[in-house]
Amino acid sequence: MDNSYDIIIRGGTVVTASDRFQADVAIAADTIVAVGRGLGPGRREIDATGKLVLPGGVDAHCHIEQLSAAGIMNADTWESATGSAALGGTTTVISFAAQHMGLDLTQVVADYAALARNGAIVDYSFHMIVSDPTEITLRDHLPALIREGHASIKVFMTYDRLRVHDEQMLDILLTARENGALVCVHAENHGIIAWMGKRLIERGYTAPKFHAVSHPRVSEAEAFNRLIAMAALIDQPIMIFHVSTVEGAAVIRRARGEGLKVFAETCPQYLFLTAQDLDKPGVEGAKWMCSPPPRTEMDQEALWRALDLGDLQTISSDHAPYAFDESGKLSSGPNPTFKQVANGLPGLETRLPLLFDAMVSKGRMSLERFVELTATAPAKIYNLHPKKGSIAIGADADIVVWNPDVSVTLTDALMHDRTGYTPYAGRTVQGWPVIVLRRGEVIVENGRLQAQPGSGRFLPRQGGWAAQPSERLQAEMDAERNFGASLFSRAK
Ligand code: DUC
Ligand code: ZN
Ligand code: ZN
């Protein structure tokens, strides 16, 4: 009987969120079946001597083949986006199914699922963007979709055609609570941003650098506070996306200190870029425009500290690729005002190399924390663990063999997504993924992608967030029972 393994990754340093150790990793079919010394033989042996053996990255916030509310299409297809993710060491993504006004959410999710089914190269799941929380959406569609494995909802507090107002937010939080879903939020104060933008444009300040001015830092902290108050009223866990400021991080720290169920992420653009990157001749700075905008070095330091302290738990790319041409950033013509430029940066492929360089090569954080922030923590928060996000017996064999010594200078030409540029061109990073396995299949080797579009699998994620009511909610519910109402349930 042939009792050899399908693949042995031999002689590397295995790293998890808690440990690092010298070991071989044995794979049978799509699963890790043994971790130990002297394992084997394997039908295929991968020599990892001098290399790190890491869990594949989990990028829990990326926009793929998504139509913006203004009707602008992402530069990427599922194939190009997830191919670039794989080449950067990421083997799981959570993308979006974006409901625009008037659309049926069930149909929206089916449409995005069909795109992913055809093109995905890494495994994937969806957050459902809800911008039109109609009665049928809340009562029927969301509960059914959550049961089918779409256990997170994304809501915007800004953007004219996407945002929900406070009462709608409360409805969505309550629906999420009753069905065990997590609510992820783009939290910025819409009124402040609209007011600032209008005045800047009226006065002729139209260049991309004024995009950053139009999103004052208080607009973030205000929205965080209001969102957290609403989530506390409903007792619903939330994930605050792309934290960018000192003040925002402080709001989250306080809320978590009070025991509220608040998770938060930041992104490489807030750790490595500043508002000055938008200050380029002509409209070139549009390439660095995202929302919230990159801020200052002081904010970068505050975000690193918040990561250190555990106030922020994950680092996602917020990959939102728009080409620097009439199909994307310049869809309003060659000289748009900053208000006419699509917001977003590419980042799926560069997330892990940039973070490895800053954290591990430059010594800011440990290897274990790098793994935790980029793979294990997002897998746990979004209910993908233990299949994803770690190297353990029984986990999917999503593994990156990482060379910690090689230096790579990032260039536009090196990237494999279809944006046509990287905001990090010219930076040299130390550390690069050399072999990537997805469920036991080698999908990247020698810098080449070798996977079929459509070979990525949908990952249903069950709810499970509906916890015991907090003392605060229990008190509210006890009080309303006294007069016979049930305000905190959808049933009247
Ligand atoms: N801002 C968003 O809100 N979404 C995508 C990208 C961006 O910059
Ligand atoms: Zn956002
Ligand atoms: Zn986003």
Q: Ligand 1 atom 7: the closest Cα is on which residue?
A: 344
Total count of domains within the chain: 2
Contacts of 57 (CB under 8 A, 6+ apart): 85, 88, 89, 90, 91, 92, 351, 352, 374, 375, 400
Q: Give me ligand 1 centre to Cα 78, in Å.
A: 18
316 and 406 assigned to the same domain: no
In a domain, 130, yes or no: yes
Last residue of a domain, one of 341, 362, 385: 385
Shared domain check, 171 and 288: yes
Instruction: Indicate which CATH number applies to the domain containing 11.
Output: 2.30.40.10
- Domain match, 43 and 68 both: no
Q: Is 211 in the pocket of ligand 1 (CB under 6 A)?
A: no
Residues 48-62: pLDDT tens digits? 999 999 999 999 999
Given a cut of 70, is residue 340 above it in pLDDT?
Answer: yes
How many Å apart are CA 127 and CA 238, to the nearest integer? Answer: 13
Domain co-membership, 314 together with 441 = no
Ligand nearest to the CA of 187: 2
Predicted confidence (pLDDT) per residue in 390-428, tens digit:
999 999 999 999 999 999 999 999 999 999 999 999 999
Q: Is position 465 within any domain? A: no
368 assigned to some structural domain:
yes
Beta-bridge partner residues of 444: 436, 449
Q: Is the CB of 290 under 6 A from ligand 1?
A: yes
Same domain, 47 and 136: no
Q: Which of 231, 297, 234, 296 is nearest to 264 (CA)?
A: 231
How remote is the CA of residue 379 from the centroid of ligand 1, in Å? 22
Ligand 2 centroid to residue 185 C-alpha, Å: 7
Ligand lying nearest the CA atom of residue 286: 1
What is the percentage of the chain residues whose pLDDT exceeds 70? Answer: 97
Whole-number Å distance, alpha carbon 61 to ligand 3 midpoint, is 6
Q: Examine the domain organization and report whether 31 and 105 are in the same domain.
A: no
Is residue 133 domain-shared with residue 20, that is, in the same domain?
Answer: no
The residue type at 447: G
**pLDDT at site 491:** 67
Q: For residue 253, give every residue at least 6 positions away whose Cβ sits within 8 Å of its Cβ, in sequence order, or none.
A: 306, 309, 311
Does residue 186 line the site of ligand 1, with CB under 6 A?
Answer: yes
Q: Does any domain span residue 492?
A: no
243 and 101 within one domain = yes
pLDDT tens, position by position, 251-292 = 999 999 999 999 999 999 999 999 999 999 999 999 999 999
Atom from ligand 1 closest to the CA of residue 290 = 8
pLDDT of residue 487: 78
Strands 152-156, 123-129: pairing is parallel
Residues 25, 106 share a domain:
no
pLDDT in tens, 295-316: 999 999 999 999 999 999 999 9
Q: Is 343 in the pocket of ligand 1 (CB under 6 A)?
A: yes
184 in ligand 1 pocket by Cβ < 6 Å?
no
Q: Which of the listed residues 364, 385, 406 is the one where a domain comes to its end? A: 385
- For ligand 1, atom 6, which residue shows the shortest CA distance? 344
Atom of ligand 1 nearest to the CA of 343: 8
The residues whose Cβ lies within 5 A of ligand 3, an ion, are: 318
74 lines ligand 1 (CB under 6 A): no
Does the beta carbon of 317 sit less than 6 angstroms from any atom of ligand 1? no
Pocket test for ligand 1, best of 290, 341, 345 (most atoms within 8 A of CB): 290
Q: Starting from the CA of residue 186, give the closest ligand.
A: 2
In this prediction, residue 408 carries a pLDDT of 98
Residues 166 and 293 reside in one and the same domain? yes
Q: Is residue 195 part of a domain?
A: yes
pLDDT at 187: 98
Domain boundary, last residue among 332, 359, 385: 385
SS3 per residue for 391-439: CCCCCECCEEEEEEEEEEECCHHHCCCCCCCCCCCCCEEEEEEEEEEEC
Instruction: Answer whether residue 1 shows pLDDT above 50.
Output: no
> How far apart (Å, rounded) are the C-alpha atoms in residues 112 and 64?
9
Whether residues 220 and 82 fall in one domain: yes
Q: Which ligand is nearest to the CA of 61?
A: 3
Instruction: Tell me the residue range of the domain where 220 lies.
Output: 57-385
pLDDT of 479: 76
Q: Which residue from 68, 184, 186, 289 has its CB within 8 A of the most atoms of ligand 1, so it is best to mutate?
A: 186
Is the CB of 318 inside a 6 Å radius of any atom of ligand 1?
yes
457 domain-assigned: no
Could you tell me if 438 and 398 are in contact, meaning their C-beta atoms sit under 8 angstroms apart?
A: yes
Q: Verify whether ligand 1 is closer than 6 Å to residue 242 (CB atom).
A: no
Closest residue (by CA) to atom 1 of ligand 1? 291
Could you tell me the distance, in angstroms and rounded to a whole number, from the CA of residue 62 to the centre of ligand 3? Answer: 6
CATH code: domain of residue 276:
3.20.20.140
pLDDT at residue 151 tops 60: yes
Residues 269 and 129 reside in one and the same domain: yes
CB under 8 Å to 212, separation ≥6 — which residues? 275, 278, 293, 294, 295
**From the CA of 63, how far away is ligand 3's center (Å)?**
6
Split at pLDDT 50, 70, 90, the class of 484 is low
pLDDT score at 336: 98
For residue 485, name the pLDDT band (cuts at 50, 70, 90): low
Q: What is the mean pLDDT of the chain?
A: 95
Mean pLDDT of 154-172: 96
What pLDDT was estimated at residue 4? 84
Percent of the chain with pLDDT over 90: 91
Q: pLDDT for 453-477, tens place per residue?
A: 999 999 999 887 655 677 777 777 7
Residue 70 lies in a domain: yes
The reply to whether 340 falls in a domain is yes
461: left (phi over 0), alpha (psi -120 to 50) or beta: beta
